[in-house]
Amino acid sequence: MGYFEMSKLALKWALTKPPTTRYPFEPRQPIAGSRGQIVFTKDNCVYCTVCAKKCPTGALVVNRAEKKWVIDRLRCINCGYCAEICPKKSLTMVEGHGSPAVTRDREFH
């Protein structure tokens, strides 16, 4: 049975720099390779609607006739499936999360 097992650990960490970041004064650096958010590039999109059909949550709506691409960010689960299957590579998954939303707005492109 050990007494003061914790004291060594506690003492060590009392004397070292904290492993936490001082958020919000110091923003969290996004990790390379993480799924942050979907970015849409309008230029090469052909409005084929594959992303809208395959989206597991129905966050994407694409209208071919009106050439509109719409995303509901609150419905999106950042799975990256659309970026993976996009034939024209006009969807990319980037690091870093978007800002928090207060209202449910859809983004029109």
* Smallest distance from another protein to CB 109, Å: 6
Q: How many residues bind another protein (CB under 8 A)?
A: 36
Is 89 a binder of another protein (CB under 8 A)? no
How many C-beta neighbours within 10 Å does residue 22 have? 8
Tell me how far apart the alpha carbons of residues 72 and 106 are, in angstroms, rounded to a whole number: 5
Tell me how far apart the alpha carbons of residues 105 and 109 are, in angstroms, rounded to a whole number: 13
Side-chain half-sphere exposure of 41, counting CA atoms within 13 A:
12
Among 41, 84, 85, 96, binds another protein (CB under 8 A): 84
CA-based torsion, 20, 23, 25, 31: positive or negative? positive
* Smallest distance from another protein to CB 88, Å: 20
Q: Which residue has the tokens 């970041």?
A: 21
Is 23 a binder of another protein (CB under 8 A)? no
Give the interface with another protein as residue ranges (CB under 8 A).
Answer: 1-3, 5-6, 9-10, 13, 19, 31-35, 54, 56, 58-59, 61, 63, 66, 68, 70, 72, 75, 77-81, 84, 93, 106-109
